[in-house]
Amino acid sequence: MAALVVSLMIQWPATAMASPASSITPIAIATMSDKMTAKAKETEGKLESAYGEITGDPGHQVKGKAKQMQASAMNATEAVKDGAKAAARKAGDASDKLADKIN
């Protein structure tokens, strides 16, 4: 099931990019794709962990928890990227305002 979710998520950005009326930039698409990949990994981990609990298989429980941890790391990376982009936008806006005052 998780593979199906991931395959659908991978196809969505390509479909959005094909639309000429789309105002979403490729960078935004990549960021959304990374966030969706992290969410899919988290869901896959939860499913595998639950399967391990139901069957009593500690191997699946550990693998599921590991995938959830990987998803957490991916989400943290995206949060850092978002913060850097916001800081860059603020710096750009400040420099634009300064340039307007000089002119």
Tell me the per-residue pLDDT of 26-68, one tens digit each, with 9 for 90 and over. Answer: 666 666 788 899 999 999 999 999 999 999 999 999 999 999 9
Tell me the pLDDT band of 102, cut-offs 50, 70 and 90.
confident
The CA radius of gyration of the chain, in Å to the nearest whole number, is 20
12-41 per-residue burial string, b: 16 or more CB within 10 A, e: under 16: ebeeeeeeeeeeeeeeebebbbebbbbbbb
Residue for token pair 């634009």: 96
**What is the model's pLDDT at position 34?**
86
pLDDT in tens, 78-100: 999 999 999 999 999 989 888 88
Domain locations in the chain as residue ranges: 24-102
pTM of the model: 0.59
